[in-house]
Amino acid sequence: MTMTNRQQQTLSALLSLMFLVPASFKLLNVSIAVEHFTTWGIPFWMMHVIGASELAGAIGLLVPRTRVAAAFALFLLMIGGLMTHLTYGEYLFALMPIAYAGGLFLLMKDSLPTLLSVHEPIGGTV
């Protein structure tokens, strides 16, 4: 089933809001984010890079032209988040990147056939 433009806009806005909280926690050094990254042995500069990437992705989700690229980039971040939570036995926390990735997949799924198709080079065959 293909999503309507209105459904894509609504889901994009919801996901964007969902990403703002963890992004701001990382960028503002909120204690829970600092504790987690310290436990995982990930340096604070990387926490800030991840937070900035989440913020950029959240903004990108709101722009129709960049929506699919932002969803894909955030999807990759969620794979990293999932792997981190699973590695450290934080199974309940692992549900968050799974849920986020599910929403991001819904945004990307209609564009996947177009993105994965092979196109002829401009100007004919080589």
* CB 60, CB 19: distance < 8 Å: no
At residue 124, the pLDDT reads: 58
pLDDT of residue 28: 98
pLDDT of residue 17: 97
Write down the pLDDT at residue 119: 63
What pLDDT, on a 0 to 100 scale, did the predictor assign at position 50? 98
pLDDT at 121: 64
Listed in sequence order, the residues at least 6 apart from 101 whose beta carbon sits closer than 8 Å to its beta carbon are: 75, 78, 79, 82
Sign, CA torsion 57/59/62/67: negative
Query: Phi and psi dihedrals of 67, rounded to 5?
Result: -55, -50
The residue ranges of the chain whose pLDDT is under 70 are 113-126
Which residue, chain included where needed, has tokens 């990735």?
Answer: 101
The confidence score (pLDDT) of residue 49 equals 98
Task: Report the pLDDT value the prediction gives residue 1, as an integer from 0 to 100.
Answer: 77
pLDDT, residue 68, reads 94
What pLDDT is recorded for position 92? 96
CA angle 93–15–103, rounded 5-degree value: 70
Confidence (pTM): 0.86
pLDDT at 110: 83
> What are the residue boundaries of the structural domains of the chain, listed by start?
5-111
